[in-house]
Chain A
């Protein structure tokens, strides 16, 4: 049996290395992806273009706008005259947030009943969220400051600001400066590996079927499982090479700290790649032509991104959706990658994911083998 697998592996290796262009493509794609995503994905939105309708143009209103701008989260891009024009600017995409300050702001502030309206573009999710969150904080902080100034002016309490009795220090674990790239690298690492491993093998079986060479393989004494394993072998190598390039890039180019045990990560990544390749083989076996394979790969990729916890927290999803997410190896590997790379935790916290991934890998290989056998009859 080992000998037969070895023969298939040899054949697959020869085939893989002969097609230089494809190989080069497979080796370089992850690098391009990581570079683009590493710089491109930032959920912490700042410098949101802000349109201002300041109907007072007094010291208080200017202080308010300054507070928004000084935070770095908002950039004033235009001044208009009223709320309608603010909405129009946001409609046209010229700004993604707006602020409307009414007449006589300074007197209203002194009377303690000033009202400001902040408008946020609700068509883009992360922008809306950041704008909303930051506007809340900044407005609150500014109002407090003004209050403290008022208090100081009454002479009751001399220096208002320092008298706030409670100070909250916020610390963010694993990523103290909220560097976007630190969030991104573990997830992107996991995702690129899945893209690579699934796409690498997805063509394997269906292509032989389409070109007609599958018949030739079947007259040899090779068994389905042996064929599958042999077909996976060169791709495991390519995927591991991909993994190493991504890690090297992430650590040295992007400066992401690798907190955990590197060897543990490598082993778990190996098993992850294996289950991804299994999924690719399964897709390849149940498809009738490469067009179907193509559709399925893209669907898998998109669903995995959404359901695996890569973008959206899984603990908010309903049970059914979460179960559907379990169909993708990415779901098991995301906590592993984040755990080892960002948090630096070890196997004692990750064993559940590990076992799930092992079971997944075995089940999917068996399923592919069975589907292959059934497809022949």
Chain B
């Protein structure tokens, strides 16, 4: 045991010297999260408002103007581009000059009077985020407007408006968004960015490690030393753990200090669980490295892994709607668990009592992946 520790320690020293010597790579690894944070933070804007809207108002009367005004006042639509017909509206959307369009038929006022007016609202369906918000906004606005019209009509008819609450709707629903009342994109993103950057750093650093020694032929040299596979792997991973911890601190500091993202939970709990996550990410990277035969293969696998991570772990796309098979693939990536942990601690401010399940899975994951990596490594040698 003591011998093993000594050997491991000697190797850790060798690896440390090696990574410190390659200071350009080191600098890159330390600077990357900072750059990424800023890009992410400033690029992600989910509030879909002021959609450029083309209007074909074929009535040009008081009622049609009132409807367009209702759309404008909502803040979701900028109805400034006037065109002649439905075809024009569609052409504007084809040309990307408008994201939405409104078509109001002739004789609008008369039809409203008769109670059978129709308007057509058209959306650019090639971008999903904008469509959904626009759709719900337009439906809600049209309905409200319609009720208002009816109520004013009822008023004209001399109805006892008092019985109807003066035109107010009988149920008033207020919607509160927990943890992030203004739906601020940054609050959504920071925990996710932290998780994905950590994974990117760990896998990126380690996936090359073993396969590189193999390709360069230095693996043989290592193998004639008395070092055992697990010891070798632990020492290979050590400097990367330290670098990634430094990155974690940087990421959280930038998020909290620069971007003012509230950190609601316990920072120590987060630190410990991040360490756990880093270990499992490194394990996965090692596995990629031992499975690959060449660095090119390792690169290909990590690139795909990265893409899948952004798509399947719940970082952007909710896992809720994924079919079970796809969700199961996402389960193979440690970010899936850590995103829930990061959101739980940073955004929601909850503790272990809510998160223990993900923590347990992450522990098992880390052990399994590291054992697998050293098993493949050993088999590869025979």
Contact = CB atoms under 8 A, between A and B. Distances in A.
Interface of A: 19, 21-22, 25-26, 29, 32-33, 36-37, 39-49, 64, 87, 90-93, 96, 109-130, 132-137, 139-144, 146-147, 150-151, 154, 156-157, 163-176, 178, 180, 182-183, 186, 191-192, 195, 198-200, 202-203, 207, 210-211, 288-299, 301-303, 305-307, 311-313, 316-318, 320-321, 324-325, 335, 338-339, 342-343, 345, 349
List the 8 closest pairs (A to B, CB-CB), nearest first: A112-B165, A122-B180, A168-B142, A175-B125, A139-B173, A133-B136, A143-B169, A172-B125
Given A22-B296, A147-B147, A303-B39, A128 B139 contact: no
A298 B178 contact: no
Contacts of B126: 173-175, 183, 186, 338-339, 342-343
A140 B296 contact: no
Contact of A146 (B22, B137, B171, B302): B171
Contact of A122 (B128, B146, B299, B347): B347
Given A157-B154, A290-B299, A302-B310, A168 B128 contact: no
A173 B90 contact: yes
Nearest to A135: B175
A109 B170 contact: yes
B372 interface: no
A317 B43 contact: yes
B174 A42 contact: no
In the complex, which range does the number of interface residues on chain B fall in? 35 or more
Determine chain B's interface SS by DSSP, over half rule.
helix
Contacts of A116: 171-174
B170 A91 contact: no
B183 interface: yes
A120 B177 contact: yes
B43 A144 contact: no
B67 interface: yes
A183 B129 CA distance: 10
B276 interface: no
A115 B212 CA distance: 65
A92 B358 CA distance: 12
A133 B132 contact: yes
A93 B354 contact: yes
A12 to B, nearest CB: 13
Interface string B117-161: 111111111111111110111111011111101100110010110
17 contacts: A42-B321, A45-B321, A111-B165, A121-B178, A122-B179, A125-B189, A128-B188, A156-B159, A165-B117, A171-B122, A207-B296, A211-B216, A291-B22, A311-B129, A312-B45, A324-B39, A342-B126
Contact of A42 (B25, B157, B322): B322
A115 B174 CA distance: 7
A175 B124 CA distance: 8
B376 interface: no
B223 interface: no
B194 interface: no
Contact of B325 (A39, A126, A129, A211): A39
A210 B142 contact: no
A163 B115 CA distance: 6
A200 B303 CA distance: 10
B214 interface: no
Contacts of A318: 42
Interface stretch (B202-210, B227-235, B267-275): B202-210
Contacts of A173: 90, 93, 122-126
Given A43-B132, A290-B212, A299 B169 contact: no
Interface stretch (B4-12, B252-260, B312-320): B312-320
A126 B154 contact: no
A169 B183 contact: no
A172 B124 CA distance: 6
Contact of A169 (B43, B47, B121, B306): B121
B293 to A, nearest CB: 6
B288 to A, nearest CB: 10
B146 A299 contact: no
A33 B304 contact: yes
A288 B322 contact: no
Interface in B178-212: 178-181, 183, 185, 187-189, 191, 196, 200, 204-205, 207-208, 212
Given A169-B118, A321-B42, A91 B125 contact: no
B310 A305 contact: yes
A179 to B, nearest CB: 9
Nearest to B118: A167
B164 A147 contact: yes
Given A22-B294, A124-B188, A140 B144 contact: yes
A292 B28 contact: yes
